A and B are shown apart, each in its own frame.
Chain A
Amino acid sequence: MSSEKDVVARAIKGDGEAFTQLYETNFDRIYRYIYLRVGNISEAEDLTQEVFVKAMGAISSYRWRNLPFISWLFRIARNQVIDYLRKRDKVVTQELDDNITLHAESGPADITERKLETEKLAGLIDKLSPAQREVIILRFSSELSIAETANALGKKQGTIKALQYTGIMALRNMVLEDK
């Protein structure tokens, strides 16, 4: 099996199959990040597509730096989201779309429960500070490591650890207040 570095090197040279592999590996995580940031499924879909279109256009100038390829995709996604939120005059109404897709294997009761959980989560995450919000989403929704999150956000690892800690604390307190 090819390492990510090999796949990326082939994609840089214009190998469509390699790009498809990168797309398959990273699409869901990028989508999840964008969805939790914008809270709207159709906007998340448009923005996710745009991220991959931009990545395809810019991949020839990508330079491998011993960091996962997804760090680069997150940088693009983050810029997209910032642009989008700026255009929306920074008024973020986190209304989750009814068409949110849940695990196919879930039963109706499970789906309802999960949907409520997801709606609640997005509402709570929205109340975090912007820095905490990004760290929590990247760490737990997009499954980035501390080092990858630090790279994607251009912050030090110590800062990410602190933001993760205070973010989880804040979420916990919000859940307690909610009860």
Chain B
Amino acid sequence: MTQQMQDVLVRCIERLSAGDRVDDCLRDYPEQASELKPLLQTTIAVRRSCSAIKPGVEYKARVYDYLEQLYCDRQARKGWGWSFFAWHRHWAVAMIAVVLVLFSSMGMVMASAGALPGESLYTIKLATEKVRLMASVSDVHDAKLHIQFAERRADEIAWLAREGKTESIPALTDEIGNQLNYVIFGSRAMKNFQGGDSQLPSTENSWMGSAEKGEVTEVIELLHQSREKSLHELNDALSQSSLMALPSLEQAIRDTSQAYDDTLLMLEGD
């Protein structure tokens, strides 16, 4: 009975939004009319009061100006940064590939595995990851690598938070989101999308479409484990970080958790 009443209430509220009157609804639901009437009257009163709340015009314009300024600054930075880093990335990958061949993947690459943002070997660590992706033989393997790299970024955030170095944390958190996007769509699809006029990637054209069921299950399982490990590491850092680092770390935990959940939702289906 209560559930039926809840459904009737939902339908009547929709009708009120469309311009119907309370009496019209009551006429159509005579059995519920006595209970329905006060609820609809309350709904109308709440809506009327809510509609009186509006942001001031000057304030809204101020925020708009601020966002516009921010947008221009970012575009200016991005314009320079993108072309610079694109060049830098290509050369870094090429150089590291040469180094890998020459030194048989030893020494520096191994030393860079534990490198952290701000350290000189960190660039090599990132480039090595790209080389590993280039050498990957399948989309499923790509996905597994991206999960591993997302986990690495979480470890790096935890370390930085413990050290009180919060500057790179938002960028690393974004990178976790990017890596997890790549888990679904593959880095190539995402790059094509960002770089050109192509359609938004969708789960229909992700690697999952052609993968074996067992492979998808394996990636999902890996993702669950990675989520647990990453969030454990980040939460562990909470108790060891300075007060100043807490807001950045808490935000990173929320965003990371959300990114994993979103990815799992898409992989597992609604």
By a beta-carbon cutoff of 8 Å, the part of chain A in contact with chain B is: 9, 12-14, 16, 19-20, 23, 27-28, 31-32, 35-36, 45, 48-49, 52-53, 56, 58, 60-61, 63-65, 75, 79, 83, 99-103, 114-115, 117-118, 120-121, 136, 139-141, 146, 158, 161-162, 164-165, 168-169, 171-172, 175
Contacts and interface: CB of A to CB of B under 8 A. Distances in A.
Nearest to A42: B59
Across the A-B interface, give the 5 residue pairs with the lowest CB-CB distance, nearest first: A141-B50, A121-B49, A114-B52, A117-B49, A161-B6
A32 B71 contact: no
B6 A164 contact: yes
Contacts of A141: 50, 53
B134 interface: no
A115 to B, nearest CB: 8
A119 B203 CA distance: 47
Interface in B91-148: none
Contacts of A168: 9, 39, 42-43, 46
B178 A61 contact: yes
Contacts of B258: 75
B56 A120 contact: no
Given A23-B64, A23-B67, A161-B7, A101 B181 contact: no
Given A16-B71, A171-B42, A48 B6 contact: no
Interface string B218-252: 00000000000000000000000000000100100
B11 to A, nearest CB: 11
A158 B2 CA distance: 12
7 contacts: A13-B194, A53-B67, A56-B74, A102-B52, A117-B48, A139-B13, A161-B6
Contacts of A48: 55, 63
Contacts of A165: 2, 5-6, 9, 39
Interface string B163-186: 000000000001001100100000
Contact of B60 (A16, A27, A118): A27
B55 A31 contact: yes
B183 to A, nearest CB: 12
Interface of B: 2-3, 5-7, 9-10, 13, 38-39, 42-43, 45-57, 59-60, 63-64, 66-68, 70-71, 74-75, 78, 174, 177-178, 181, 194, 200, 247, 250, 254, 258, 262, 266
Nearest to B270: A65
A14 to B, nearest CB: 7
A61 B181 contact: yes
Contact of B38 (A23, A164, A172): A172
Contact of A103 (B2, B54, B63, B75): B54
Contacts of B250: 83
A32 B47 CA distance: 12
Contacts of A158: 3
A36 to B, nearest CB: 7
Contacts of A115: 52
